[in-house]
Amino acid sequence: MASSSALRSNLQRIDGKGYKAYKDIQGEYSFNEFSVFVDYVQGDPFAGPSRVRIRVPQRKAGFPGELFRNRSREKALRDYLVRAFAASAKRFTKGNRGIGKSGMIGIDPPGQEILERTAVLINEEFVEARFVMGLPAFGRKIAGRHAEAMFFDELPQIATSSLFYQSMQKEKLTSHVETSEDADALREQLTEHNCVAFIADDSVLPRRSGVDPRPLTGDNVVPFRSADEFRIEMSTPNRGSVGGMGIPRGVNLIVGGGYHGKSTLLSALEMGIYNHVPGDGREFVVSDPATVKIRAEDGRRVEKVGITPFIDNLPFNKDTTRFCTEDASGSTSQAANIVEALEVDTGSLLIDEDTSATNFMIRDQRMQELVAKEHEPITPFIDKVRQLSDDWGVSTVLVIGGSGDYFDVADRVICMHDYLPQDVTEEAKQISRKHAAERRNEGGENFGEIRHRLADPASFDPSKGKKPVKIAERGLKAISFGDHHIDLSAVEQLTDPSQTRAIGEAMYFVKQLLNEKQYTLKEAVDEIMRRIEEEGLGSLSQRPVGDYAEFRKFELAAAINRLRTLQVSQRE
């Protein structure tokens, strides 16, 4: 490892030369308190910025082992350090130092969720931050003196204030770690309480807007409070007992008038698969980790999915045991989305009637009389939701406002009134008995089988032009996979573009797995997740990478299913 003085000399030597001379500084350098690794140097000032790492020996960083003694605490500590580094970079970086990205120092920015990230690593030996730098230039000439200031003035200040325990706001750091650990503890207790979700009393569920996930503030915000009938108590390692509403396994309806908080509650459950930062309001809203939000998705491609439980007897004898389409309707897409989630072992479904296909959700008695079942291919969800729970152990939480027929199949009915939940299950059942539905059940005796599919590795083509592999995220909800665009706009539980980026890379690993051995999609996805669990998220790349965030197998499977070149066969 070279000394920091060698880096300084190099920067002074190449000052004023053509930009590509920056390649000379690639390497490893020892500073007084830490080491700097320049892993990749950008080709020009407008290209993607250079990739750099700072590693601080733990004997100098001084983080107590108590802060990362288990997986939950370690993830939260790393998340906190990413936020601290980002804040310090914003504080100490001078900003623009030339053209293009000159002068920028940045790290993968977290949002409201606490996610496993590759941006910071910590263990008993060292703390490491992985970030990017825009090496400065004026025109195409290296601004060596400005680069020197970045490495020798700005980086040390950023590192000292964000990667050393003595510089931390210790109470804030401890709260961050303990809050996340407590949320994990609550989520782990869902099974013993036979619940799919838990919402702690005094949680703040509404967000500022559809594009601002921070908590809503003001006098009109109503803190959540459980109805007595749903109240449970759970324990946490740091805060002791926490009370709130448990949503039991089975079929749960969320009803109520418009603008009374139905969809807000469902959205909180949707994001309850993640831990949240202190002050978010949803710190102790937790959901079954295998919860999947389902919606209609007109226009998506479907590849040999067995949607027969919901759709059969199509015109022209179109096969629904291996249903294919380039342009799915609302009902066929929603059926496929459910079956694909079942294929990779979802434990519970979240559905909002506002984003569902009406003919998929209900067929009332009048329509049944007008259009006989033998002429209607769709078996509505109302006739399958009970079977999903009884046959497959898959629960459903359903926001419904337009069809009381669902009272007949519900285990519990939660009414949101003035943003607070009420148990109206018995009232709903009395209404069911008083006004008996005259529609006929069209669901048969059981839900039906889930058919597993074998993927063809040749249908995963990440090449583009002369490049054998070209994969990139395009914001939160899209991936470029070779020449192909994967639309994830209906995959609603993605929350960070770094998840999308990591999913794109994981898809390439799926292709490699399929080249080695015949796997079903479920087996391939499970194997990728197992390897990530054992080897870390960074194992998706052969180089040190700082911009991946954890994802679930459900979103990985969703991306694969939306690859328009995907080819599969069904395992008999």
CA-based nearest residue to 450, from 319, 308, 237, 355: 308
Which residues fall within 8 angstroms of residue 10, CB to CB, at 6 or more apart? Answer: 24, 25
What H or E segment, with its residue span, contains residue 131? Answer: strand 126-133
Asked if CATH classification 2.30.30 holds for the domain at 189-451, the reply, yes or no, is no
CB 560 within 8 A of CB 341: no
Cross-strand pairs, 260: none
pLDDT at 531 over 70: yes
Which residues fall within 8 angstroms of residue 428, CB to CB, at 6 or more apart? Answer: 253, 255, 404, 407, 410, 413
What pLDDT does 309 receive? Answer: 96
pTM of the model: 0.95
What pLDDT does 533 receive? Answer: 95
CB 464 within 8 A of CB 565: no
Mean pLDDT, range 206-225, rounded to an integer: 94
What pLDDT does 572 receive? Answer: 65
SS3 510: helix
At 21, list the tokens.
């001379």
Question: In which residue ranges of the chain is CATH 3.40.50 found?
Answer: 189-451
Q: Is 535 exposed, middle or buried (0-12, 13-18, 19+ CB in 10 A)?
A: exposed
Share of the chain above pLDDT 90, in %: 92
Distance CA 229, CA 425 (A): 10
Write out pLDDT tens, residues 404-446.
899 999 999 999 999 999 999 999 999 999 888 888 999 999 9
Q: What is the mean pLDDT of the chain?
A: 96
Write out pLDDT tens, residues 74-124.
999 999 999 999 999 999 999 889 999 999 999 999 999 999 999 999 999
Mean pLDDT, range 362-379, rounded to an integer: 91
pLDDT at 46 over 80: yes
Mean pLDDT, range 384-396, rounded to an integer: 97
CB atoms within 10 A of CB 515: 10
The confidence band for 165, taking pLDDT boundaries of 50, 70 and 90, is very high
pLDDT at 571 over 80: no
SS3 302: strand
